[in-house]
Structure 1
Amino acid sequence: MNASLLLSITPYFPRPISSRRQCPLTVRRNARLQSPLCLASSSAPIATRETEIELENRKFELLRAVTDIQRGLTATPDQRSSIEESLVGVETFDAGKPIELDLLDGTWRLQYTSAPDVLILFQSAATLPFFEVDQIFQKFECRDQSGQGVVRNVVRWSIPRLLEEQEGATLIVSAKFSVVSVRNIYLEFEEIAIQNINISEELQALIAPALLPRSFFSLQILQFIRSFKAQLPVRSSQRQSVGGLYYLSYLDKNMLLGRAVGGGGVFVFTRAQPFI
């Protein structure tokens, strides 16, 4: 909506007519003094509102561009080019602003990526009959902290017939991060963990048949599987933590855009409900 349209629908309230007649010179002097203030006060809110509307439109176009391409797996070169153009269009509204850690804190759901290390998970799920990938999240814990925090990359996956659909198990890659510039954070990966294993009803029935009394041994097996957690520290060949730069190109209360520095791909996230 442009400014002329907004002005055309703004109600007009005429100035009360004073019973006291003013000198023409006084009227002209008052007009010179008041008109710039009136112009500033009326145009500033309209300009701000137009900017907000334009930003929301660009965010909508970006989310529409990443729809129905399996979070980037089936995107064509032309689609990726269009998505990149939409990304830049949103990023321009947040360029140069410092990172707000209180706003970054929380859980974000992946909507699109071009990162090869994530796309290979989607490719594996599409080609392997025994592997499924559901939602991927990025969870930041940095509220009330000064320039640092923790981020967890959460992947929910499953094995058909053995684990529950969508939430059969959870892979978590944890990292510490520190703010190193206005928009860059440095990630220092710490460990990879597999946890929250939920076996399917078929497997439960195989371990402990419903028609037979459940023995102590079968119950122990079920309990062990449910509470199983495997952790693996992440280290380089020099026994140092693996790390990398992550550029947060846009951030507001419901959208997060990021770029892995060094050609690692782009990411589009939207705010999600907390779960862990």
Structure 2
Amino acid sequence: MDRIASANFSCPAIPMPRVCRIKPFGLSIVTDHRKRFSCRVAVASGDTKATVVDSELDLEHKKHNLLRAVQETQRGLTATSDQRSVIEEALVTVEGFNGGEAIDLVKLDGTWRLQYTSAPDVVVLFEAASRFPFFQVGQIFQKFECRDRSDGGIIRNVVQWSVPSLLEEQEGATLVVTAKFDKVSSRNVYLQFEEISVRNININEQLQALIAPAILPRSFLSLQILQFIRTFKAQVPVTSTSPGRRSVGGLYYLSYLDNNMLLGRSVGGGGVFVFTKSQPLEL
């Protein structure tokens, strides 16, 4: 019995097979799972891109609808109550696309052309031009200068106007209302008006011929008159001179902004504004 026990005890250990010599069948299963997982990720990524594209197309469609709604209103002058309702609905729809984002001052910097407004102080200019044939309102712009700023900048409201019998049409003269603006929240800016000026006076050819006829030698005096008119600039400051008193100003809500459209609302019932990006304006 002892011998048997001893023999069993001294029996050499049976070598265990090494797992690495055998290609596990499960490895191919793991590989297959990885392939299937990567396919799911690709599909998900494709779905996300498709959703983004659909959203961008929808936004462009809404913006097109807004511009089409304001097209026949002469920038707001002839808008009926029904048209204003349609415009307001289209405007709110566009505003909803980036309503939670803060205004990017780099993107805001530049010149924006007015397409529509319901602001009374602007509509009255259109009304005056429609009533008086000697007064003509051309393009209206807002020019923001804030590229290198994070808290505000300068805004210039630019109105091109003319007296057809004396000045060139559309761009006979330029009225500029300059204001500083400060960001008071992610979307609200406070405007503090500083100056009103008239500049860039361009008299028509008939008046130039009257001042300095082409068939006669132009005298020093006539040339001086023409030069004075071309370089004339009248400035009226509107800043407050009383200590402790703020200058005339107002709160302006920038409700939507992208690379080619700017929407704004004058806080306190002052009307809405629809702008599109324009070529840089030199003043």
SS at match of 1:209: coil
SS of residue matched to 2:182: strand
The DSSP-based 3-state class of the residue aligned with 2:99 is coil
| Residue identity in the other structure for 2:234 | A
SS of the equivalent of 1:187 reads: strand
Q: Distance in 2 between matches of 1:210 and 1:24?
A: 95
Structure 2 match to 1:243 = 249
1:234 correspondence with 2:238: yes
Residues 144-174 of structure 1: per-residue CA shift (max 9 Å, x gap): 2121110000000000110011110000000
Matches within 5 A, 1:83-122: 83-122=87-126
Q: Partner residue of 2:84?
A: 80
Give the TM-score of the pair, scaled to structure 1: 0.87
Instruction: Look up the equivalent residue of 2:132 and give its one-letter code.
Output: L
Residue 232 (structure 2) pairs with residue 264 (structure 1): no
Deviation of 1:42 (Å) = 1.9
AA at the equivalent of 1:61: N
Could you tell me which residue of structure 1 aligns to residue 213 of structure 2? 209
Matched, 1:198 2:209: no
- The answer to whether 1:147 aligns with 2:147 is no
Aligned counterparts of 1:237 and 1:76: Cα–Cα separation in 2: 42
Shift, 1:58, TM fit: 0.2
In the alignment, structure 1 residue 51 sits paired with structure 2 residue 55: yes
From 174, 178, 187, the equivalent of 2:178 is 174
Tell me, in whole angstroms, the C-alpha distance in 1 between the residues paired with 2:31 and 2:229: 86
- CA drift of 1:22 comes to 8.1
> How many aligned residue pairs are there?
256
Unpaired stretches in structure 1, ≥5 consecutive residues: 1-20
CA distance in 2, matches of 1:135, 1:147: 29
Q: Secondary structure at the match of 1:90?
A: helix
Please state how far the C-alpha of 1:220 moved relative to its aligned partner: 1.4
Q: Name the amino acid aligned to 2:279.
A: Q
Q: Does the residue aligned with 1:273 lie in a helix, a strand or coil?
A: coil
Task: Name the CA distance, whole Å, in 2 between partners of 1:147 and 1:160.
Answer: 42
- What is the one-letter code of the residue matched to 1:119? V
Q: Sequence identity, in percent? A: 64
- Residue number among 52, 63, 66 corresponding to 2:67 in the alignment: 63
Q: Could you tell me how far 1:107 is from its partner in structure 2? A: 0.4
| Partner SS, residue 124 of structure 1 | helix
Structure 2 unaligned regions, length at least 5: 1-24
Deviations 1:26-59 (A, max 9, x none): 5884577446423421211011111001000000
SS across alignment from 2:71: coil
Q: CA RMSD in A?
A: 2.0
Q: Which has the larger radius of gyration?
A: 2
| Alignment deviations for residues 224-275 of structure 1 (CA, whole Å, 9 cap, x no partner) | 1111100001146956411111101000000000000001100000000012
Write the distance in 2 (CA, Å) between the matches of 1:90 and 1:36. Answer: 34
| 4+ aligned runs moved over 6 Å, structure 1 | 21-24
After TM superposition, give the deviation of residue 72 of structure 1 in Å.
Answer: 0.5
